[in-house]
Amino acid sequence: MRAERHYLDCNATAPLRPEARRAMLDAAERGGNPSSVHAEGRAARAILDTARRQVAALAGLPPSSVHFTSGGTEANNWALSQTDRQVLAAVVSHDSVLAVAGVGTLETESNGLVDPETLKTRLKTSNVGMLSVMAANNETGVIQPLEDIAEICRAHGVLLHVDAVQAPGKLDLAPIAAQADVLSLSAHKLGGPAGCGALLVRPGLDPVPLIRGGGQEARRRAGTENLIGIAGFGAAAGAVAVQGSAEVARILALRDALEAQLRAFCPETQVFGADVQRAANTTCIRMPGVPAETQVMALDLAGVAVSAGSACSSGKVTPSHVLIAMGCGEEVAGEAIRISLGWATTDADVTACAAAWQALWDRKKAA
Ligand code: PLP
């Protein structure tokens, strides 16, 4: 018998939603190329159009705003290529923003927020053409003050890119999209498949292509569309829209209950970003004196999947640049784990996580 698992790593990849799975199976069975004029091609085109409408509706934008990509990374890379002037990105941004050549960083305050006054000063004194910020941080869930940021960008004639990859299902996407010139999404963070995403572009802006070739995506993103992935993305976006704020409230209640339990077990714990607005599903929490990798392994053995608050792509664990930017020392940052809930999270998952965390903390105290 398979041991019971409790998956609380939804900011890495959310479980596939049944609606997405069904749409993907249907698209896989139909086949066809949306650029073909015959019946099979037209059926494929209809799948593409439906998905485009579903993603656009979630963002409150017209379908023509949506350009499908191979994921959030491509959408971010593409977004940042829209200016000849410098791109400035909040230092807590995702690596798919920070690693783009020439990107300068904008420091944040110790709570992870961009300070509007600091931003104004930077925009006055440098040749910035675009600012990139996240709607909600993938490690801490911290939500940026987008309205203020957007107003400052408009006043300085600077384009605003919003990496909203972690927003759907946790925040209302339409008010976020309303502030952005360009906005990135990724299907696997909202219950669709990995390897599919979108760049949403404000009506009136004509984005310069990053990937050139055929005429797909209104000649703006070449390459035969990942129809199966896109079908799943659209269906997942549709499901997020249907679940709406009631689901966000459910997840928030679970997250807050979990945090309250962990704080009760260990009053000296630290929840990063706790004193500002955060996405409903994310907790970045420290167990003092216990390395994050030890916590992740102990929880995994107890059937609970979470991740270290540090980046460990390619197996090399480095302290989280997000927590370092928030003023943590390397040791503190190295003791933080990220617990991220999602549409499939139940009371039982949270209970199991709290129990496993408490057991480890009890062992640490006894040692
Ligand atoms: N932006 C944020 C905030 C993310 O969390 C991620 C994924 O972790 C990405 C971008 C990259 O998205 P993808 O995995 O679809 O390339």
Given this model, what pLDDT does residue 319 score? 85
Burial of 270 (0-12, 13-18, 19+ CB in 10 A): middle
Given this model, what pLDDT does residue 315 score? 58
**Å from CA of 197 to ligand 1 middle:** 9
Which residue is associated with the tokens 């400035």? Answer: 88
For residue 137, the ligand 1 atom closest to its alpha carbon is: 3
Given this model, what pLDDT does residue 316 score? 61
Given this model, what pLDDT does residue 312 score? 52
Given this model, what pLDDT does residue 1 score? 57
- The preferred substitution site among 97, 132, 166, 185 for testing ligand 1, maximizing ligand atoms within 8 Å of CB, is 166
pLDDT in tens, the chain (367 residues): 568 999 999 999 999 999 999 999 999 999 999 999 999 999 999 999 999 999 999 999 999 999 999 999 999 999 999 999 999 999 999 999 999 999 999 999 999 999 999 999 999 988 999 999 999 999 999 999 999 999 999 999 999 999 999 999 999 999 999 999 999 999 999 999 999 999 999 999 999 999 999 999 999 999 999 999 999 999 999 999 999 999 999 999 999 999 999 999 999 999 999 999 999 999 999 999 999 999 999 999 999 999 997 655 555 668 899 999 999 999 999 999 999 999 999 999 999 999 999 999 999 999 8
**Are 189 and 168 a contacting pair, CB within 8 Å?**
yes
Helix (H) or strand (E) holding 259: helix 227-265
Burial of 169 (0-12, 13-18, 19+ CB in 10 A): buried
**Å from CA of 314 to ligand 1 middle:** 16
Given this model, what pLDDT does residue 314 score? 54
* Residues that are catalytic: 312
Question: Does the C-beta of 166 come closer than 6 Å to ligand 1?
Answer: yes
